[in-house]
């Protein structure tokens, strides 16, 4: 038993130790997109455990496991997805898009990040996929921990967890925090807070002939494109 006594605590605390090297980027781009940085951290841990070189069997890449098709729609080159900052830019822009699209509903935002907004619309809620249901629950648990500094009760406490997590996120959306400005390297004050808007009807983009250097993905890939709009650098919707 002795030889494992130090190893187990290291495993438990490793994600928090590793996260420190990405904290400034998370804080910067969460602020630019009007997101709670702890939500970004919770998603990132679930997606890659802070591994910038992570690759899924669906070709989701990097810290926030963004697929190339989504990266392109978020204005990021797929070849840059293994670099921490471009990956975080793509992931936080996508979270901002989903936050606007689903009017701040945390369950739907997370389900959309995992399964795509099209699947959420199809089932009018969290899709009945085992992976997505587990994903939403685990990210919310981690998010609650990050904000409350403690692990919420899981067994028999799902309602309490639900209320606690949604209150935290709802409080964030309604607070002045999301509107705080930050200074970038170019010394420009950045973007406006998220405004909850009426959801627009979104349709799948029509298939197009891929460029020579573009990877073609199967239709059942996670985070499959389900919209024909993206966000420009100022956080405004742009039709593709």
On the CB side of 238, CA atoms within 13 Å amount to: 12
Averaged pLDDT for residues 34-54: 96
pLDDT of residue 209: 33
Residue 78 lies in a domain: yes
Which DSSP letter does residue 205 get? P
202 has pLDDT over 70: no
Q: Where are the alpha helices (DSSP H) in 62-176?
A: 68-73, 84-101, 106-115, 117-123, 130-148, 158-174
Residue 188 lies in a domain: no
Domains identified in the chain, total number: 1
**Range(s) of the domain holding residue 82:** 22-172
The phi and psi torsions of 17 (rounded to 5 degrees) equal -70, -45
Residue 138 lies in a domain: yes
pLDDT of residue 21: 86
162 annotated active-site:
no
Residue 203 lies in a domain: no
Q: Answer left, alpha or beta for residue 103, where phi above 0 means left and psi between -120 and 50 means alpha.
A: left
pLDDT of residue 169: 61
Q: In CATH, what number is assigned to the domain containing residue 33?
A: 1.10.530.10
205-218 tens-digit pLDDT: 333 333 332 222 22
Residue 81 lies in a domain: yes
Which range among 10-24, 176-190, 203-217 shows the weakest confidence by mean pLDDT? 203-217
The catalytic residue among 47, 138, 162, 201 is 47
Residue 111 lies in a domain: yes
Residue 148 lies in a domain: yes
66-125 tens-digit pLDDT: 999 999 999 999 999 999 999 999 999 999 999 999 999 999 999 999 999 999 999 999
Report the Cα 16 to chain-centroid distance in Å: 18
Residue 5 lies in a domain: no
């Amino acid at each position: 038993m002795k030889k494992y006594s130090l190893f187990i605590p290291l495993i438990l605390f490793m994600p928090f130790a590793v996260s420190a090297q990405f904290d400034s980027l998370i804080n910067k781009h969460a602020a630019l997109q009007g997101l709670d940085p702890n939500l970004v951290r919770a998603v990132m841990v679930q997606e890659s455990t802070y591994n910038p070189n992570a690759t899924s069997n669906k070709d989701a890449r990097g810290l926030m496991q963004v697929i190339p098709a989504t990266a392109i729609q978020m204005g990021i080159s797929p070849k840059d997805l293994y670099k921490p900052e471009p990956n975080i830019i793509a992931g936080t822009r996508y979270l901002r898009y989903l936050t606007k699209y689903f009017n701040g509903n945390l369950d739907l935002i997370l389900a959309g990040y995992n399964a795509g907004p099209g699947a959420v619309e199809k089932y009018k809620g969290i899709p009945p996929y085992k992976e997505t249901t587990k994903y939403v629950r685990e990210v919310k648990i981690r998010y609650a921990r990050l904000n409350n500094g403690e692990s919420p009760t899981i067994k028999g406490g799902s309602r309490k967890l639900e209320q606690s997590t949604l209150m935290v996120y709802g409080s964030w959306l309604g607070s002045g925090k999301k509107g705080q400005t930050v200074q970038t390297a170019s010394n420009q004050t950045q973007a406006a807070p998220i405004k909850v808007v009426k959801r627009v009807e979104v349709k799948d983009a029509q298939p197009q002939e891929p460029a020579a250097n573009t990877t073609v993905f199967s239709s059942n890939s996670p985070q499959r494109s389900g919209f024909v709009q993206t966000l420009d650098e100022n956080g405004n919707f742009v039709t593709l």
